[in-house]
Chains A and B, each alone.
Chain A
Amino acid sequence: MRKYIIKRLIQSLIILFFVAFIIYALMRCLPTSYVEAMARQKSMQPGSKSYEEWLAQLSAMYNMDGSIVSGFFQWLGQMLRGEFGDSWKWTVPVTQKFHETVWLSFVMGLISFILELIIAIPLGVIAATKQYSKTDYAISVIALAGISLPTFFFASLLKLVFSVKLGWFDLYGLVGRNYDLLSPMGQFMDKANHLVMPIITLVVISMGGLMRYTRTNMLEVLSADYIRTARAKGLSERKVIYHHAFRNTLIPIVTIVGGSLPGLFSGALITETLFAIPGIGFASYQSMVSGDIPFSMFFMVFTAILTLLGNLIADILYAVVDPRVRIA
């Protein structure tokens, strides 16, 4: 087991190395006018250095003067030492901005993830136990609709109904207009109020996949021999489903849930942007659109690490949870 984990870790590191290289190379291949435009913009700011100085500094800072390969290794070296540079857009160190935003995204992601589990898994189980019934069709269609729903359209509909027509929530932002006047409890409630719509969006968009996954796996388990045995020996249907079948369905579910845990840190780029929630997703969107290379690079490498970590956790959990799986 340990050998397997070490092997996978090394493999992941190699993949990460190449992913980082591709990202770096793409950034370098962007039109050169990009850095120039940045330098021009920066030199426009009052009391700033001249355009040439900025250009030289930015080029040196991002090792733009050397070749792509040498520049990449320099950048990699800096990254390994934890130096991600200063964000152009936020004018603070990248890591500082990251700390400011990531926890909000994590809280939002965690709440919606828990809600998603609470809703999707029972519905998936119900759909599987009542296969081909009306309930099953309804749940399947809802799951498919959730997958097919474009985030931005659903968010706009929510805004129209709950913000414009009913006036329950604000259209944008994390805090209301008179946030500073509120008591600590009021401030907490204000933030919670602003997070309701983004969380609903996230839950509705993402629960479809898990629902279908649960249903498929539950059906597979229900057709297994040991379920027939359980029924044959006269157990109640309740006991068969919730004691024998559901526990076995949990194996793939735990795997996929564990695998998606790291993803909670990467934020919800589109949803946060739509609701202007200042989490990591929104911050990185703004950085990317305004050509903030240090922050974008950091965010993309960070996301890649999370993806790899997720895969790793899923594979390891698979072996840990299911005693039938043995890894040499």
Chain B
Amino acid sequence: MSEKEIKKPSQVSGENTEKKEEYSLSDDRRVKVLSPGALVAKRFFRNRLAVTGMVILIAMFVFSFIGGLVSPYGQDEKFYRYDIQTKDYAGIIHNEEFRYTVGDKDLFKSTVQAQVFLNIQKGNEKFDYKGTTYELEKISDDVYIIHCQGKVVGIASKEMVNSSSNEEKSLSFDMTLASLTAKAKGDDSFTVDGKKYTLDEDGVIFNESGKEIGYVSAYVVRPIMSDVFFTREFKNQLIDAVERGDESFKFTDDNGNEAEYILKYDAATKAWDVKQGTATRVFDTYASPSKEHWLGTDRNGMDMLTRLMYGGRISLIIGFIAVAIESIIGVIMGGIAGYFGGWVDGLIMRLVDIFYCIPSMPLFIILGAAMDAANVPPMIRMLYLMLILGFLGWAGTARLVRGQILSLREQEFMTATEAGGIAVSRRIFRHLIPNVMPQLIVVMTMGLGSTIIMEATLSFLGLGVRFPFASWGNIISDVNDTYVLTNYWFIWIPAGILLLVTVLAFNIVGDGLRDAFDPKMKR
């Protein structure tokens, strides 16, 4: 590139419009002079397809390198959600049958209880059983008191009296009798053994000091597990829910644990099954796209969009480093071979032939499997991957560089460098290699695309980049699970499209660059 030709295009065009008429035909200033570099750029930017590719590449770099910084989430930040796990907790029945409370064991046996039931059905007030006379005193439709030999021997009722305290499972018979009677008659207080008790609308029994000691209810609540004791509040809420016909309710116990309870009516047994739902913290796996996670979350509950950004970063970095390695080796080997020729050339070119011939994909797979066996840490693994990709790919670059240099070294400017006594290394790397640069850049750009595909394929097979690092290839590898393939498009389609578009853009830009560098080659 000669120095005198460099001028800013804007200046040139400005001068042209203003002073067009002043210059004579032979004036040099009439001619717009552009450096070879500017000419290449101009030709490149005239190619609309190539510019599109360039824009895509820039967008991809911004997405991968800046996106990761902008994203509120980390590369391997896990997200959780609460999952409700239900277990059988209790059963509740609304009592429709008479239940018997026994006051005198000898006179109110179960056979007598059966008789009582029959006679209540018939509407009798008195009956004889085995020579003993029993009297039925009706308090209400639901409560009967059974007298025998002048004393109360039992109660038949549809409601039950339960104790509120944990220690005493049941209340005394007198207490039961008095409270049932009071409830049936609609009284709000009663007296037992000289102590006064009050009864509220819900059937709760309080003693004189206002302490709750029990309650009357037609609902029977039994626990599924024997170690569970239901508090009065819980039962109240449960019964309320049943009466309202709710399907679920929330309850916070004394220890402050909130849980959701789900009610289900079973028509066959006329009972409600109560299930306790306890919230468990689980990984938010395969969550659908939402405001928080634009592309959902992956198998480990990590934000997909963020993973894609970091994945792009890794895919691009691996591509760049691998291509850099193969270009450096290729340029050195090709440069030496092309410049010296003879036996050096022969030797290096046979080496190139050998490397050309090594089946790379099988080799990568074997090395990947060997690294698996040796438990290489993911970070080191990535380094190896770049080195191997680079080291096996230099043969093509070397061949290209050698071919170019073979023709270049016969040209006059090389004779001039020789006459000028310039050192050999300087002749190769200052005068020959820069002339190979155009072809080299094209090959490198295209090589980036294929290296990224190679890395993605290896990662897809689980032999390249490993968790916790993301790469577009290993993100897509979730498809190996057919369920993911079928149901979670957002896991693998975005990564595949990014991969395709990036590689396509590299190829398009490479094509555009080739056309721009060498218009004769444009085909």
Question: Which residues from chain A sit less than 8 Å from chain B, CB to CB?
Answer: 11, 14-16, 18-19, 22-23, 26-27, 30-31, 33-34, 37, 128, 131, 137, 140-141, 144-145, 147-153, 156-157, 159-160, 164, 171, 215-216, 219-220, 266, 269-270, 273, 284-285, 288-291, 296, 299-300, 303-304, 307-308
Contact = CB atoms under 8 A, between A and B. Distances in A.
Contact of A288 (B365, B489, B523): B365
Given A148-B500, A307-B359, A15 B476 contact: no
B460 interface: yes
B174 interface: no
26 contacts: A14-B350, A19-B354, A22-B354, A26-B366, A31-B374, A34-B373, A141-B49, A144-B511, A145-B504, A148-B504, A148-B506, A150-B453, A150-B456, A150-B473, A153-B476, A156-B492, A157-B496, A160-B485, A220-B523, A269-B365, A270-B457, A288-B366, A289-B463, A296-B366, A307-B356, A307-B357
A288 B362 CA distance: 7
Contacts of A289: 365, 369, 463
B486 A18 contact: no
B479 interface: yes
B362 A299 contact: yes
B354 A150 contact: no
Given A145-B500, A150-B499, A270-B361, 13 more contacts: A14-B350, A16-B357, A19-B354, A31-B374, A37-B373, A148-B503, A148-B506, A150-B473, A156-B485, A156-B496, A288-B366, A300-B362, A303-B362
A266 B373 CA distance: 26
B298 to A, nearest CB: 16
Given A156-B496, A288-B365, A288-B366, A151 B457 contact: yes
A144 to B, nearest CB: 5
Contacts of B463: 289
B373 A291 contact: yes
B363 A300 contact: yes
B508 A144 contact: yes
B485 A153 contact: no
Question: Residue among A33, A141, A148, A285 with the most chain B CB within 10 A?
Answer: A148
B148 interface: no
Contacts of B68: none
A157 B500 CA distance: 12
Contacts of B506: 148
B367 to A, nearest CB: 8
Nearest to A157: B496
A22 B363 CA distance: 11
A11 B358 CA distance: 16
Contacts of B350: 11, 14-15, 18
Given A137-B49, A288-B365, A300-B359, A152 B457 contact: yes
Contacts of A160: 485-486, 489
A294 to B, nearest CB: 13
A148 to B, nearest CB: 4
Interface in B476-523: 476, 479, 482, 485-486, 489, 492, 496, 499-500, 503-504, 506-508, 511, 523
B224 interface: no
Q: Contact size class for B?
A: 35 or more
B485 A308 contact: no
B296 interface: no
**Which 7 residue pairs across A and B have the least CB separation, nearest first?**
A153-B496, A148-B503, A219-B523, A303-B359, A148-B504, A31-B374, A288-B365
Nearest to A23: B358
B353 interface: yes
Contacts of B453: 148, 150
A198 B485 CA distance: 17
B334 interface: no
A181 to B, nearest CB: 24
Contacts of A37: 373
Contact of B449 (A16, A30, A137, A148): A148
B461 interface: yes
B373 A164 contact: no
B344 interface: no
B189 to A, nearest CB: 73
B66 interface: no
Nearest to B463: A289
Nearest to A285: B365
A11 B349 CA distance: 12
B500 A150 contact: yes
B370 interface: yes
Contacts of B496: 150, 153, 156-157
A285 B362 CA distance: 8
A128 B523 CA distance: 8
Given A144-B507, A157-B496, A304 B374 contact: no
A171 B482 CA distance: 9
Nearest to B376: A31
Contact of A18 (B354, B489, B503): B354
A150 B315 CA distance: 13
Nearest to B503: A148
Nearest to A160: B485
Contacts of A215: 523
Contact of A164 (B354, B365, B366, B485): B485
Contacts of B508: 144
B329 to A, nearest CB: 16
Contacts of B482: 171
Contacts of B476: 150, 152-153, 156
B322 to A, nearest CB: 16
B358 A19 contact: yes
Contacts of B503: 148, 150
Contact of A156 (B356, B365, B479): B479
A171 B463 CA distance: 23
Contacts of A273: 461
B231 to A, nearest CB: 52
Most buried by B among A14, A266, A273, A304: A304
A18 B355 CA distance: 10
A220 B523 CA distance: 8
